Structure formats: structure tokens, C-alpha cells
Amino acid sequence: MIWKIACIQLDIVFGSPVQNYQNAEEKIKQAAAEKPDVIVLPELWTTGYDLSRLDEIADSHAEVTLELLKKWAKQYNVSFVGGSVANKTDDGVLNTLLVVNSAGEVVKQYSKLHLFKLMDEHKFLLPGSSDGNFTLENIPCAGFICYDIRFPEWIRTHTAKGAEVLFISAEWPLARLAHWRALLITRAIENQCFVVACNRSGSDPNNEFAGHSMIIDPWGEIVAEAGTGEEILTASVDFSQSVDIRKQIPIFQDRRPEFYK
């Protein structure tokens, strides 16, 4: 199976969901003109890192964002790994990745497991408590959010169960761009799978962000990479490639997890 994937690298307006919804809708219309199978959005794209105001601006149970994603999915006949949003629940606010298929059905909601203390996430967000596995158009996938990529054991938990593509939504700072690129390439090589990573561009009052959204094949070769500004990054991936590579170097057959404790 071959997918055409579009990553929408947005410059997120700090603390303004209305403006961000409008900007995303315009970019999604542009991306949809290229007839992709999947559109990917970055982390916290409706609010940015305006964490201290999340009680005011977070999306209650992600309802507004989900309705928009479902509408756009049916309108453009495209699936969404719809980035993550500040998801206000009865217990607190989660950073939740939303996946909607081309029929407008909600496939997955994954809340960020690993909170990044250097950006004060632990002060304003609750950590997630479930895995990121999902199936999209018959392809086993997994979704992660930003800091998650620094935890290889968490990623492997998903690929050991069959995930063939890792989707990452992020707000990764420019100061650690080298880490972003190295970690993503490594995750692709060690898991013999495609990596689709959608970062944000621009800046907020406290950070400058790296951009450089990437689509990487199971050999660790970069299929496509964005620059630092707003951009729609598009590339096709052929899932037969991961099948072939896993036959050539059968790491999943050669694992000895009984010793990995």
C-alpha cells in the first residue's frame, strides 16, 4: 500500500484558538488540493504553549477540534492525524493527539505520556495513561507527542505490536534541532518503520521552534524535510518497503525480551 502524506507545519498563534482554527483550515484546504491520504498537524496547534491560560482556552473534551476534523475529513476524503490539543476534562487538562479517518470517524485519542518539565508541562497538564496504537486504513500505526521520542522503550512497545508508521506531533525548539533530527532518524532505523514527524514553526514569548518536519523511511533515509517556516510537506510512502527491510534484518524475530527487564 502507498500513502501520500501531508504534514502541515504551522506557525501557531499564542493562546488564540480562533486564529489557529482559521489558519489551519486555510492550510488544510491547500494540502487537500494535492489529494493526500493523510494530513498531519503539530502539537498543541490550537493554543500553543499558553499553558497558564489553559483553563480558559482549552477545548472541553476536544469537542470543537474533533467536530472540525470530522468535517474536514469528510469534506476532503482524507484521514487526519490531527495533531494534539489542550483537552479539558473533568479531572484536568490533557495534551491529546486526535486521529480521524476519511469517513469522519474518531479512530484514536492518545494523551501525551511523558510531560516535559523544562517547559512546565507538569504544572498545567495531566499525563496520559494509554498507548498510542491505532489502525488507519488497514495500516497499523502509532502516535506520539514531542518528548515521547526520547523514550525508545515506549516507541518499541508499539512497533513490537506491529506498528509500521510512527506519527509524531511536536513543538520542538530550535535550540535542540540536532536532537530532533537524530532521534527521529534513529527511531526509524531501530524500528524499521516509517516516521512522520510534524513540528511547528515560528516562536512564542519563551521559545523559538525548529520546524524541520520530516518523513523518514525504514532505512533512516529522509524522504522529505521542511525548512523553518510555515510549510506543507508532502511525500509518498510505500509500506512494502518496511516489510522487505524487516525480512532482510529480522530484528523483531531476533529480540529476546525476557532479558530486557
- pLDDT tens, position by position, 161-183: 999 999 999 999 999 999 999 99
Q: Rounded to 5 degrees, what angle do the CA atoms 79, 32, 28 make? A: 85
Q: Is pLDDT above 90 for 235? A: yes
Burial code (b: 16+ CB inside 10 Å, e: under 16) for 215-248 equals bbbbeeeebbbbebebbbbbbebebebbeebbee
Q: Which residues contact 243 (CB under 8 A, 6 or more apart)?
A: none
Whole-number Å distance between alpha carbons of 83 and 168 = 8
Assigned C-alpha cell, 179: 536532537
State the distance between the two ends of the chain, measured CA to CA, in whole angstroms: 36
Q: Which one of the listed residues 88, 108, 121, 146 is annotated catalytic?
A: 146
Does residue 244 have a pLDDT over 90? Answer: yes
In this prediction, what percent of the chain has a pLDDT beyond 70? 100
* 49, 204 Cβ separation under 8 angstroms: yes
- Specify the 3-state DSSP secondary structure of 62: coil
Supply the CATH number for residue 85's domain.
3.60.110.10
The predicted-structure confidence for 18-49, as pLDDT tens digits, reads as follows 999 999 999 999 999 999 999 999 999 999 99
For residue 114 the three cell numbers come to 511523558
Band of the pLDDT at 261, cuts 50, 70, 90?
A: confident
| CA neighbor of 212 nearest in space, from 96, 30, 42, 38 | 42
Strand partners for 214:
197, 225
Q: Please, which residues bridge with residue 236 across strands? A: 4
Catalytic residue flag (residue 25): no
Among the listed residues 112, 141, 193, 198, the single catalytic one is 112
Given a contact cutoff of 8 angstroms between Cβ atoms, the answer to whether 214 and 225 are in contact is: yes
Question: Which domain, by its residues, includes 166?
Answer: 2-259
pLDDT digits (tens, 9 = 90+) for 200-231: 999 999 999 999 999 999 999 999 999 999 99
Encoded amino acid at 197, one letter: A
Q: Please, how many CA atoms are within 13 Å of residue 233, restricted to the half-sphere of its CB?
A: 29
- What confidence score (pLDDT) does residue 115 get? 98
Residue type, 51: L
> What is the rounded average pLDDT of the residues 97-102?
98
Burial 75-100 (b: 16+ CB within 10 A, else e): ebebbbbbbbbbbbeeeebbbbbbbb
Q: Is there a catalytic annotation at residue 71?
A: no
Q: Which three cell numbers mark 21?
A: 482554527
CB atoms within 10 A of CB 134: 21
Considering its fold, how many domains does the chain have in total?
1
pLDDT at 221: 98
35 noted as active-site residue: no
- Average pLDDT of the residues of the chain: 97
